[in-house]
């Protein structure tokens, strides 16, 4: 007969083995329908291009957050990164008319990151994927429109 303490030790060892067989810590996996485009532009230039593309495609830049710029202000150098939060009020009204809980998804984000070779990449999650979990026809219609808008913004910014 196996004692309770021995069973406990065996259980802990078994769980340790199972946990150790999962995905590697730090492994990067993008959420479904996440699009990343590596560009020939440098980080600051790409951020500027995204800002201009947002305006050209008649969307609003709600906010820009950058850990690298914040770190630089403290004298710390890390690879460039910036999250641009993008939306527009008429889309917000339609989103909330369709689903108040979906309001947490706005503004939608575009992420610019500096690559080791000095170029930068732009990443965004397709609005259709962001709103899909709500299973709401009104949001689906809105998301279809926003999929086109965000694809155009990112392609415009990445091009040239």
Can you spell out the DSSP letters for 113-150?
EE-TTS-EEEEEE-HHHHHGGG--HHHHHHHHHHHHHH
Q: How many angstroms separate the CA atoms of 121 and 70, rounded?
A: 20
The first and second tokens of residue 81, run together, are 């990164």
- In this prediction, the residues of the chain whose per-residue pLDDT falls under 50 are 5-27
Q: Is 34 helix (H, G, I), strand (E, B) or coil?
A: strand
Q: How many angstroms separate the CA atoms of 80 and 69, rounded?
A: 7
Supply the CATH classification number for the domain 30-158: 3.30.310.70
The torsion angles phi and psi of 130, rounded to 5 degrees, stand at -65, -45
CA 57 to chain centre: 20
The first and second tokens of residue 36, run together, are 């990343």
The first and second tokens of residue 41, run together, are 């532009």
What is the chain's length? 160
Q: Are 83 and 75 in contact (CB under 8 A)?
A: no
Query: Domain residues of the chain, as ranges?
Result: 30-158
pLDDT of residue 31: 86
Q: Which of 54, 71, 72, 74 is nearest to 62 (CA)?
A: 54
């Amino acid at each position: 007969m196996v004692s309770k303490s021995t069973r406990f030790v065996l259980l802990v060892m078994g769980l340790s083995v199972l946990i150790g067989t999962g995905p590697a810590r730090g492994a990067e996996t993008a959420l479904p329908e996440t699009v990343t485009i590596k560009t020939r532009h440098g980080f600051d230039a790409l951020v500027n291009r995204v800002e201009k593309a947002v305006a050209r495609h008649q969307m609003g830049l709600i906010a820009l957050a950058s850990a690298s710029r914040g770190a630089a202000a403290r004298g710390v150098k890390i690879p460039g990164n910036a999250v641009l939060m993008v939306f527009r009020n008429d889309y917000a009204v339609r989103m909330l008319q369709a689903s108040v809980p979906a309001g947490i998804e706005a503004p939608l984000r575009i992420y610019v990151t500096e690559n080791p070779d000095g170029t930068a990449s732009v990443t965004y999650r397709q609005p259709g994927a962001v709103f899909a979990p709500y299973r709401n026809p009104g949001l689906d219609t809105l998301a279809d429109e926003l999929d086109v808008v965000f694809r155009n913004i990112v392609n415009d910014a990445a091009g040239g």
